[in-house]
């Protein structure tokens, strides 16, 4: 609303007249619904950098952007030629998307261009006129040649997964990046985003990853206009302009904050008034914060760890975007496959307490957390105090309670609190899921202050 008012007053039109009423931005709760319900997505960081086994983009020495010096492993001229060997003959988009589906993911976000500037699709946007360098620095100039984005998009659709493109606005090898008024680079990247949104059928999300420089060196409002024209229901994360100086306060800031927050490498806090998605690597590097792309020799997080992350995000009312870093051959690391399969088995049995729920009413913490839908609350308990779990009293009567897998449990609710006792033998070592069924609300009932809200 604020955006529309601002734009009308300033004489700028972001949306066609007929869109104004039906397509408010940021996304409406109807437009957000599938994302809110989906809970679990698969993030895929991959590209020629995987050949080096060093961190994607950050592994390149002599970067223009500071930070992460411990990640710099590959001399720039070596890194910039890795594409010539990129030939992932074992890549099979159908198998990847089938695995995402088996894991219980409802959407996938694929790296189309990372900070290193390499395009995973045959872009038409020329990058270097210099005859000594690849004109496009894209998959078309590798021995593999196939359009990875096209194959991923088709396979995601086939397996019923929503599709998101990760696109890095910052580009550490583009010759015009942040040069002067940045117009040449700005035109280049906006044209690339248009390609990604018009060539591959429905796209559900754009996942940007920061931009640096000044607001005036970009035409972010135009970018959003183009994106929404291509896909009126597109969801956009909060990083399209994050890092830019001088973002105008008010409507423009709201526009760029877009639809959801993106805590990185940690689980976001309990937050129900705005959507959020934690992105976390399945590789947990010993000595650095990377692990997005293939990092041979670095450990994969255990299943229990990944499951706890999923449950902690969902009980906090967010989504988990769990990242894999496939091998340069096109295969997924076997340990990562195994964890994903286990996630899927768990979700088959417990998915009712995850998908389509909302976080709360209890605030999550070390003990675990809860999810809710209709007259059900699911407690996800990580830590017991001996045999007992103590929580604040609910304002509603609990009609029945059982372990999601069957056995009845007996909750005791008094004014002082809600207490559930479960013998150790029946507690799950990772997450004990207890389903509470609430009695219908009596008319005239009004919840007291300070109680968990239902």
The footprint of ligand GLC (CB under 6 A) covers 45, 57-58, 209, 264, 279, 292
From the CB of 321, what's the least distance to ligand GLC, in Å?
8
Residue 163 CB neighbours (<10 A): 22
Q: From CA 264, how far away is CA 255, in angstroms rounded?
A: 21
Q: Kindly tell me which of 115 and 159 has the beta carbon lying closer to ligand GLC.
A: 115
From the CB of 406, what's the least distance to ligand GLC, in Å?
39
From the CB of 45, what's the least distance to ligand GLC, in Å?
6
From the CB of 192, what's the least distance to ligand GLC, in Å?
17
From the CB of 292, what's the least distance to ligand GLC, in Å?
5
Q: From CA 358, how far away is CA 360, in angstroms rounded?
A: 7
Q: Phi, psi (5° rounding) for residue 235?
A: -100, 145
Q: Kindly tell me which of 279 and 377 has the beta carbon lying closer to ligand GLC.
A: 279
Q: Kindly tell me which of 3 and 74 has the beta carbon lying closer to ligand GLC.
A: 74
From the CB of 168, what's the least distance to ligand GLC, in Å?
7
Q: Kindly tell me which of 291 and 330 has the beta carbon lying closer to ligand GLC.
A: 291
Q: Kindly tell me which of 200 and 292 has the beta carbon lying closer to ligand GLC.
A: 292
Give the CA angle between residues 429, 432, 437 to the nearest 5°: 175
And the tokens for 382? 């990580």
- Taking the mean position of all CA atoms in its chain, how far away is CA 200? 20
From the CB of 363, what's the least distance to ligand GLC, in Å?
26
Q: Kindly tell me which of 279 and 436 has the beta carbon lying closer to ligand GLC.
A: 279
CA-based nearest residue to 339, from 308, 374, 303, 381: 303
369, 311 Cβ separation under 8 angstroms: yes
Q: Kindly tell me which of 204 and 395 has the beta carbon lying closer to ligand GLC.
A: 204
Q: Kindly tell me which of 281 and 371 has the beta carbon lying closer to ligand GLC.
A: 281
Q: Kindly tell me which of 223 and 279 has the beta carbon lying closer to ligand GLC.
A: 279
From the CB of 279, what's the least distance to ligand GLC, in Å?
5
From the CB of 266, what's the least distance to ligand GLC, in Å?
11
């Amino acid at each position: 609303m604020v955006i529309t008012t601002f734009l009308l007053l300033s004489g700028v039109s972001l949306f066609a007249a007929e869109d104004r009423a039906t397509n408010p931005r940021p996304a409406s709760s109807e437009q957000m619904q599938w994302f809110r319900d989906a809970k679990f997505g698969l993030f895929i960081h991959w590209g020629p950098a995987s050949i080096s086994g060093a961190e994607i983009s950050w592994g390149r020495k002599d970067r223009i952007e500071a930070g992460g010096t411990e990640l710099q492993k590959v001399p720039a001229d070596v890194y910039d030629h890795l594409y010539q060997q990129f030939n992932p003959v074992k890549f099979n988009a159908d198998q990847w998307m089938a695995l995402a589906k088996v894991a219980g993911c409802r959407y996938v976000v694929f790296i189309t261009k990372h900070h290193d500037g390499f395009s995973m699709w045959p872009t038409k946007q020329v990058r270097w006129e210099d005859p000594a360098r690849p004109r496009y620095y894209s998959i078309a100039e590798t021995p593999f040649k196939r359009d990875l984005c096209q194959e991923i998009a088709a396979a995601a659709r086939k397996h019923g997964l929503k599709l998101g493109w990760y696109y890095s606005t910052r580009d550490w090898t583009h010759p015009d990046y942040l040069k002067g008024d940045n117009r040449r680079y700005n035109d280049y990247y906006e044209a690339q985003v248009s390609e990604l949104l018009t060539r591959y059928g429905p796209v559900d999300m754009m996942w940007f990853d920061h931009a640096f420089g000044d607001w005036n060196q970009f035409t972010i409002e135009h970018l959003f206009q183009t994106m929404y024209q291509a896909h009126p229901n597109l969801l956009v994360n909060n990083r399209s302009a994050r890092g830019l100086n001088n973002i105008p306060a008010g409507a423009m800031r709201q526009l760029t904050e877009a639809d959801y927050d993106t805590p990185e490498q940690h689980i976001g806090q309990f937050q129900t008034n705005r959507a959020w998605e934690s992105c976390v690597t399945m590789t947990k590097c010993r000595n650095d914060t990377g692990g997005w792309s293939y990092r041979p020799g670095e450990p994969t997080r255990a299943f229990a760890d990944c499951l706890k992350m999923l449950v902690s995000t969902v009980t906090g009312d967010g989504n988990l975007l769990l990242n894999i870093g496939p091998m340069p051959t096109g295969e997924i690391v076997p340990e990562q496959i195994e964890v994903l399969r286990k996630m899927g088995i768990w979700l088959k049995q417990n998915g009712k307490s995850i998908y389509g729920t909302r976080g709360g009413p209890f605030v999550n913490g070390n003990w675990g957390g809860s999810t809710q839908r209709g007259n059900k609350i699911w407690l996800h308990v990580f830590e017991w105090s001996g045999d007992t779990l103590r929580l604040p009293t609910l304002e509603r009567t609990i009609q029945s309670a059982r372990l999601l897998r069957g056995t009845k449990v007996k909750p005791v609710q008094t004014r002082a609190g809600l207490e559930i006792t479960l013998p150790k033998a029946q507690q799950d070592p990772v997450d004990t899921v207890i389903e509470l069924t609430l009695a219908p609300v009596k008319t005239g009932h009004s919840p007291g202050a300070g109680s968990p809200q239902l």
